[in-house]
Structure 1
Amino acid sequence: MTNRSSEKRAERERDLERELRGKERLLERELSRKMKLADFRQDWKNRLRDDLSEIASLTVNPESMNDERIHQLNTRRGRVRLSLNLSEPHSIRLINAMNDLAKTTQEDAGENQTAFVAVGQELLKAEWDRLKEDLVQIEKMREQ
């Protein structure tokens, strides 16, 4: 009877160990997925920042626009537009500011430039906050 009881206990322990290893593998996969997503988000944010700064640079002096600069500006604007989720308020504000910047004349260049940069910074800050939240979740998962 003791031998049978020992065997059952040992079998339950093996089952628990298998279950624990399975849960650990799932946790590791989820942790890996979240880390990769955080990397992707950071890369996206860096590319967006580069595009926004290039747009700001190209539109500083509207009178100096030539065909090449217009092409560069339109390429960057298109990339930004395709990078954004248009159901998010920050994205909509950025598109509107970018559209206003595209219509800029020499007289209102400074005002539109300032507004565009401010909205871009708001969006980048919101994305940074989202990334930090992801990193906090990753850290909590590691602690488990």
Structure 2
Amino acid sequence: MKNWWKRLREFSNLTLTDKLLLIHTAMVLTLVRLGLKLLSFQQFRTLYGKLLTVNKSANTSDTLISRRVWAIQKISTPLAAVCLPQALALAYFLRKDKGIELIVGVQKKHTFEAHAWVEKSGRILIGESPDNSFKPLWVWQ
């Protein structure tokens, strides 16, 4: 319970702009997680693909990308969102940027593992650097 009070105090000390950014991010992350839970992966991919189908002409500033990543990471802890919802949310927010790639990779060492991350021009924005054993299964540009 103390943790929630601490978060509430931190939230109340933020600027209005940051509060709105966190609320918007929480809504998107929640919808992504619900979609992943309630729909088959194929249904989710189809719906998500329709949401991302826009004219990719923007070049998002590093400052805006950093703020989005900050908000996703800040909201992900209380929501227990792992790499896939985080990557899907960031790709959604940056859907108009022509240099963004959402990558879902898999590996099989001792057990099957999956990891998702977002790159812009080869630079990882969210999802920590996977080791080379992850083979891309799904790349969304």
Q: TM-score, normalised by structure 2?
A: 0.29
TM-score normalised to the size of structure 1? 0.28
Higher-RCO chain (CA-CA 8 Å, sequence separation at least 6): 1
Is the radius of gyration larger for structure 1 or structure 2? Answer: 1
Between structures 1 and 2, the one with greater helix share: 1
Q: Which structure dedicates a bigger proportion of its chain to strand?
A: 2
